[in-house]
Amino acid sequence: MLEVKQIQNGIVIDHIKSGNGLKIFNKLQLYKAESPVVLLINVESKLLGKKDIIKIENTFDVDLNLLGLIDENISINFIKDGRVIDKKKVIIPERVTGLITCKNPRCITNSDDYMQPTFTLISKEKLEYKCNFCDEITKYKI
Amino acid sequence: MAMNIRHLISLADYSKEEILELVKLGEKIYNSPKDYAKSCEGKIMATLFFEPSTRTKFSFESAMLRLGGNVLGFSDANTSSVKKGESVADTIRCISYYADIAVMRHPKEGTPKLASMYSEIPIINAGDGGHLHPTQTLTDLLTIHTYKGGLENHVIGLCGDLKYGRTVHSLIKTMARFNTKKFVLISPEELTLPESLKRYLKDNYDVKIKEVRYIEEAIEELDILYMTRIQKERFFNEEDYLKLKNTYILDNDKIRNGKKDMIIMHPLPRVNEISYEVDSDKRAIYFKQAKMGVYVRMALITKLLEVE
């Protein structure tokens, strides 16, 4: 079985639904990272059957809102000196600014870039957001 | 961002009591306009019409002039700096120094909302694309209040394009708050009221909903008949449009069995959905409705400028 060394300092993004790992890797622009980053795909998981994992060395900053939009089962482990010092579950954000674009082509946020589009969560189950400007319902897609 | 200024972007931002207050003030002004002839003396209203709408613009301008105020503005985006690529936020910041209140119509949905976030003066949404047109709804409300003696307990028939018509959606949502007894939805199958709106009504209000295909099936029970235009571009082919168009033209035959005190409304402009012969029927009040638009806008301006 393939084994990857434990990181000493950094974060581990765990319980990523299998198939979403690479998408999150790209969305977080981890290819630009200066520290080592490991992307594991199709790792066995008791909870999910199969899962993806991302390990990022020497960083403690990650956009929890963005991860919440992608998959609410994701958990984040903060590692220091080889030990887990904190664990966080992502949450589906009630309000989102900038991460989603409104799907309504007639919405002002698609033609006037003065303000970032903002959305309010209307369905946690369907991950649906309502545009605060034109009321159009939009889903986040990675 | 500017705070604590009251705007009118959507009627959903106004309580039932506030809406009723506006309607009652509109009626008061209608009954004694002279009392309000100097209410807005020294005030300036900017009409920012990024797309043309002569009727709405004139109605607002007439309202402000009747209140003794002044107006300035444009009716075509080509004559404004937006043409040069200026952001709405920048435009409205400057307009805030030229006028005391601004009325905005814009083809892009959500623009008045964006403007209100940066404005130092009250913004009135005079229509943003296919999204909202709250002063049309206020006009309808004042008309119903005046000609039916109140807003509550009516059976309201809505006929025509119920799928895309923003006027109809806004009127339904607002009238539902005033204990409407029943909505009778009269439309071709292709243009029925969206399911989401029907669900919203069922979930939030104790109102009956009846759907029929033809006016004649429901005319006898209506207190109010609200007509809308069926637009050609909503159909896939011209044949379907032509077939349906005639079915939904209101004529004397179709309203023969209607109540004597029923009122027939239309947001105007009408094209051919109401035959000219209906104009002479006492129940046809769509031109009086346009008149009411001026008075309810007078009420709104005085409220937002706090000059009552």
Specify the CATH architecture of the domain A95-139: Roll (2.30)
CATH code of the domain covering residue B119: 3.40.50.1370
Q: Does A115 touch chain B (CB under 8 A)?
A: yes
Residue B214 sits in the same domain as residue B167? yes
The pLDDT assigned to B187 comes to 93
Rounded Cα distance between A105 and B302, Å, is: 35
Domain residue ranges of chain A, discontinuous segments joined by +: 10-89, 95-139
The structure tokens 């009251």 sit at: B6
The pLDDT assigned to B79 comes to 65
**Inter-chain CB proximity B113 and A133 less than 8 Å:** yes
Whether B98 shows a pLDDT value over 80: the answer reads yes
Residue B244 sits in the same domain as residue B301? no
Residue B151 sits in the same domain as residue B260? yes
The pLDDT assigned to A72 comes to 82
Rounded Cα distance between B286 and B60, Å, is: 18
Rounded Cα distance between A87 and B92, Å, is: 46
DSSP 8-state secondary structure symbol assigned to residue B109: B
Rounded average pLDDT over B210-214: 96
Residue B32 sits in the same domain as residue B174? no
Q: Which residues in chain A touch residue B109, judged by CB atoms under 8 angstroms apart?
A: 104, 106-108, 133-136
Rounded Cα distance between A56 and B113, Å, is: 41
* Percent of chain B residues topping a pLDDT of 90: 81
**Inter-chain CB proximity A108 and B111 less than 8 Å:** yes
Q: Does A117 touch chain B (CB under 8 A)?
A: no
Whether B279 shows a pLDDT value over 80: the answer reads yes
User: What would the CATH number be for the domain defined by A10-89?
Assistant: 3.30.70.140
| Residue B269 lies inside a defined structural domain of this protein | yes
- In what order do the strands lie in the sheet containing A49-57? A37-45, A49-57, A10-17, A75-80, A83-89
Residue B284 sits in the same domain as residue B152? yes
Rounded Cα distance between B128 and A133, Å, is: 10
Confidence class of residue B84 from pLDDT cuts 50, 70 and 90? low
Q: Which two tokens stand for residue A21?
A: 């790992």
Whole-prediction pTM: 0.88
What total number of domains does chain B contain?
A: 2
- Chain A segment 54-113 residues within 8 A of B by beta carbon are 104, 106-109, 111-113
Confidence class of residue B77 from pLDDT cuts 50, 70 and 90? confident
B136 among annotated binding-site residues: yes
**Inter-chain CB proximity A108 and B117 less than 8 Å:** no
Residue B138 sits in the same domain as residue B280? yes
pLDDT in tens, B119-173: 999 999 999 988 999 999 999 999 999 999 999 999 999 999 998 888 999 999 9
Residue B148 sits in the same domain as residue B248? yes
| Residue B3 lies inside a defined structural domain of this protein | no
Confidence class of residue B1 from pLDDT cuts 50, 70 and 90? low
CA dist A124 → A64, A68, A70, A106, B247 (Å) = 16, 11, 12, 26, 43
B166 among annotated binding-site residues: yes
Whether A127 shows a pLDDT value over 90: the answer reads no
Percent helix, strand, coil in chain A (nearest 5)?
15, 40, 45
Confidence class of residue B81 from pLDDT cuts 50, 70 and 90? low
Residue B128 sits in the same domain as residue B86? yes
Q: Which residues make Cβ contacts (< 8 Å) with residue B11, sequence separation at least 6?
A: B19, B134, B137, B138, B170, B173, B174
CB-nearest partner of B108 from A111, A114, A136: A111
Rounded average pLDDT over A70-95: 90
The pLDDT assigned to B82 comes to 63
Residue B49 sits in the same domain as residue B142? no
Whether B198 shows a pLDDT value over 60: the answer reads yes
Q: Nearest chain B Cα to A109, which residue?
A: B110
Structural domain including B77 reads 11-132+293-305
AA identity, residue B191: L
Average pLDDT value for chain B: 93
Residue B209 sits in the same domain as residue B71? no
Q: Does B57 touch chain A (CB under 8 A)?
A: no
AA identity, residue B36: Y
| Residue B4 lies inside a defined structural domain of this protein | no
| Residue B1 lies inside a defined structural domain of this protein | no
The pLDDT assigned to B106 comes to 94
Q: Which two tokens stand for residue A47?
A: 């909870």
* Percent of chain A residues topping a pLDDT of 90: 53
- Chain A segment 38-57 residues within 8 A of B by beta carbon are none
pLDDT in tens, B235-249: 667 887 877 777 789
| Residue B200 lies inside a defined structural domain of this protein | yes
H or E stretch at B186:
strand B182-186
Average pLDDT value for chain A: 89
Q: Which residues in chain B touch residue A134, judged by CB atoms under 8 angstroms apart?
A: 109-110, 128-129, 131
Residues in chain A: 142
